[in-house]
Structure 1
Amino acid sequence: MPSRHPVPLNALRAFEAAARSLSFQAAAAQLFVTPAAVSHQVKRLEAHLGVQLFHRGHRAVELTAEGQALAASLVEWFAQLDLALDRAVAPTVAHLRVSTVESFAAKWLAPRLHRFHRDCPELKLRIETGDEPSDFVRDGIDVAIRYGAGGYAGVEAERLLDAPVFAVCAPTVSPPLAAAEDLRLHTLLHDDSAAGRPGVPDWAAWLRAADAGAVDASRGPVFASIYLALEAAAAGHGVALGVGPLVADDLRRGRLIRPFELSLSNAYAFWIVRRQNAGAHPAADAFCRWLRQEAADS
C-alpha cells in the first residue's frame, strides 16, 4: 500500500468544526478565520482522502456518509487530544469541569463550595452553567448536575435532591399573608422553570391545591430563571414559588420565609449525570461523594 502523507491538523480542525455546526461560516467564527479559509481546508482534506465529505448547497452544507463517519471519530479524538495537552501542561494538578444549571450553581452549589475546597485543596474546579444536554466528550465535562425528570439516555444518572415546590416571600411582606386568598393583594412572581414541563408545579397548580381559585394565577412578571424570581421575592417585590434545595439557605438566613405550609411534590429533581463507562476518575468520584454528603446534610 502506498504511504500517505500525514493529514494536516488544520484541515482536520476545520472539518470537525464545520461538521459540528454544518456551517462554514459558524466554523470560521469559532476558529477565528474566514469562511473561505475553512472551505479551502475542507477541500484540501477531501483531496487528501480522495472522498467527498460534504454535499454543498447554495446556502447550506450537508455531510456525506463518509463525512459523518469521519466527524464521529474526530469529536472524540480531539477531546482526548485536548485532555492530553491539559495534562501535559499541568501534570500535577487535578482538573474537574462541572456543568450545572445557573440557579443550582448560585443558590445551592456556590454557598457550599468552600467546604469542598477545604477537603480537596489540590483539585482545580471549573463550574460552567447551562441547561442543555452535556456533551461529555466534545465539551470535556466530567460531572453534570441537571434539573429534570430523569431517564437520561446514554449516561449514568443518580438522583441527588428532591425538589418540592412551595410559596416564599420576604419576611417584611405587607399586607400579611394569613390565608392563600390573601395572595390576590400581592404580586405573583413567575419563572420559566415549569413552562412546558408536565408535573412541575406552577402558580395555577399551587393555587388549586390551596383552594384559592379566586386568585388570578396569571398576574405578575415572568422571569427567565427561577434564580431571578427568588431574588425579586427576597427584595420584597412579590411572592415566588420556591424549589426546596434552591431556597434552603435563604430560609435559614431569614432572607425568605414560607407564608404557608402547603408544599407540592415535583416530577423534576436534581440529578448527578456522568458519562457512561468513563473509567477511573478519582477527582470526579471525590466531587460526587461530596455532593451526596452535602445533600444528606441539607
Structure 2
Amino acid sequence: MRRLPPLAAVRVFEAAARHLNFTVAAAELGMTQAAVSYQVKLLEERLGVALFRRDGRGIQLTPAGERAAPQVARGFDALDAAFARLRSENESSMTVSTTQTFANTWLAWRLGGFQMGNPGMAVRLIATDDITDFARDEVDVAIRAGRGPWPGLERHLLFQVDFTPMCSPEFLARHGGSITAEEIVRLPMISPNDPWWPHWLREAGVELDENEIRPGVRLDVQAHEGHAAMAGQGVAMLTPFLWRNDIAQGRLVRLSDQLSTRGYGYWLVYPEERRSVAKIRRFREWLLNEIEEERHDPLRAAP
C-alpha cells in the first residue's frame, strides 16, 4: 500500500517549487496565495520536514525540497503523458497540427474528405508554425516542413519543397506579358529578403546580395505571400505543389520553368510507439494516397 501525502498538497508543492513564488503558483492553480501557503504547510507537517525557507527575496527550496522537487516534477510529467496518451487513443477524435501555409493552401481543402470517410470521428485542425511537442500537446499527428530526422518520431515524406517565382496574370500583363530573372529584381518582390530569392536567382544566373535590404511587402508565411501575389502586389517565391489549383484556375502564373530547392520537405510525423494506433494508421493511409493521386494527376483539383 502506497503511503502518499495528499495529492492536492503535492500538486501545490510542484508548482511552487517550479516557480519559487507562491503568488505565481497560486495564479497557475487557480487558488489564493493563502491556500497555497496552507497546502505547503500541510505537506511539511505530514512529512515532518521543511520544504521551503523564506528569505528577504522570497522563497527558496531547502535541501529536502531540492531533492524532492525534480522527482515530483517527473512524476507529474509521467501522469500527464499517461492520460494524454489515453486521450489521444480515443477513436472519437483526431487532432492534426500543421503549418499555416500547408493548412491554408492544401490540407483545409481536403481534410473534410477524411472526416466523411470516418463519420463517427471529430477531426480538429491546428494551423500553427510552432513545432508540436507530442509529450505536451494533445496532438495525434503533425505535418511539418524541414529536413528531419526527428528522434523518436515516425516520419513519411509527402513531397519535396521546391520554389519558383509566380505572380498574377494581371501583374504579368502590366509588365509586357513576360518577365525575365534579370527583370524580377527591378519589380515589386513579395518578402524580398526571403533567403529563397537569392538562391533561385543565383541558379538563374543573377547574383543578388543576400544582406541587402530591399523594398517590398514582407509577409511571415507562404500562404500570405501567395494571396498577395494573386492580388497583384508583386512577384512571390512559391512552391508549385501548394498552388497548383490556383495555377490551373488562372489565379497565378509561373514566370520560369526553373525550380530550385534547399533540401526541405513536408513530412507526416507522429511518435514511433503510436504507429499502430488505428486512427493514425487510417489518417496516414488517407494522406499518402491523396498526395500520390495529386502527384500523378496535375489537373486534379481540390473538392
TM over 0.5: yes
TM-score normalised according to structure 1 size: 0.79
Residue 165 of structure 1: aligned partner = 163
Question: Would you say the 8 A contact 2:105–2:223 is kept in 1?
Answer: yes
Work out the number of aligned pairs and report it: 285
Name the CA distance, whole Å, in 2 between partners of 1:209 and 1:21: 52
Question: Would you say the 8 A contact 2:98–2:143 is kept in 1?
Answer: yes
Structure 1 residue 240 displacement after superposition: 0.8
Residue 198 of structure 1: aligned partner = none
Structure 1 residue 30 displacement after superposition: 4.4
Question: Would you say the 8 A contact 1:147–1:271 is kept in 2?
Answer: yes
Task: Select the residue among 206, 209, 220 that pairs with 1:212.
Answer: 206
Question: Would you say the 8 A contact 2:192–2:216 is kept in 1?
Answer: no
AA partner of residue 64 (structure 1): E
SS for the counterpart of 2:124 is: strand
Question: Would you say the 8 A contact 1:53–1:67 is kept in 2?
Answer: no
Name the CA distance, whole Å, in 2 between partners of 1:269 and 1:154: 18
SS for the counterpart of 1:205 is: helix
Which 5+ residue runs of structure 2 have no aligned equivalent?
295-303
Residue 190 of structure 1: aligned partner = 191
Query: How far does the alpha carbon of each residue in 1:83-129 deviate from its partner, in whole angstroms, 9 at most, with x for none?
Result: 65798xxx7x6211211111111111101112112211111111123
Residue 4 of structure 1: aligned partner = 3
Which 5+ residue runs of structure 1 have no aligned equivalent?
195-200
Bigger mean CA offset, 213-222 vs 124-133: 213-222
Structure 1 residue 66 displacement after superposition: 3.0
Name the CA distance, whole Å, in 1 between partners of 2:53 and 2:225: 47
SS for the counterpart of 1:141 is: coil
Residue 146 of structure 2: aligned partner = 148
Name the CA distance, whole Å, in 2 between partners of 1:147 and 1:60: 43
Structure 1 residue 67 displacement after superposition: 1.9
Shift in CA distance, 268/97, structure 1 to aligned 2, threshold 3 Å: same
Structure 1 residue 278 displacement after superposition: 2.7
Question: Would you say the 8 A contact 1:103–1:226 is kept in 2?
Answer: yes
Structure 1 residue 288 displacement after superposition: 1.1
Shift in CA distance, 285/26, structure 1 to aligned 2, threshold 3 Å: farther
SS for the counterpart of 2:164 is: strand
Task: Select the residue among 225, 244, 266 that pairs with 1:248.
Answer: 244
Question: Would you say the 8 A contact 2:5–2:43 is kept in 1?
Answer: no
Map 1:275-290 → 2, pairs under 5 A? 275-278=271-274, 280-290=276-286
Question: Would you say the 8 A contact 2:154–2:270 is kept in 1?
Answer: yes
AA partner of residue 201 (structure 2): L
Question: Would you say the 8 A contact 1:177–1:183 is kept in 2?
Answer: no
Name the CA distance, whole Å, in 1 between partners of 2:41 and 2:92: 39
Question: Would you say the 8 A contact 2:154–2:275 is kept in 1?
Answer: no
SS for the counterpart of 1:238 is: coil
Identity %: 33
Question: Would you say the 8 A contact 1:191–1:229 is kept in 2?
Answer: no
Structure 1 residue 16 displacement after superposition: 5.5
Name the CA distance, whole Å, in 1 between partners of 2:60 and 2:164: 49
Question: Would you say the 8 A contact 1:144–1:273 is kept in 2?
Answer: yes
Map 1:1-298 → 2, pairs under 5 A? 4=3, 7-8=6-7, 10-14=8-12, 28-34=26-32, 37-38=35-36, 41=39, 44-45=42-43, 48=46, 58=57, 64-81=66-83, 84=86, 94-173=92-171, 174-175=174-175, 176-190=177-191, 202-213=196-207, 218-278=214-274, 280-298=276-294
TM-score normalised according to structure 2 size: 0.78
Question: Would you say the 8 A contact 1:170–1:234 is kept in 2?
Answer: yes
Shift in CA distance, 245/31, structure 1 to aligned 2, threshold 3 Å: farther
Structure 1 residue 226 displacement after superposition: 1.8
Shift in CA distance, 14/108, structure 1 to aligned 2, threshold 3 Å: farther
Bigger mean CA offset, 50-59 vs 235-244: 50-59
Name the CA distance, whole Å, in 1 between partners of 2:79 and 2:234: 51
Bigger mean CA offset, 171-180 vs 21-30: 21-30
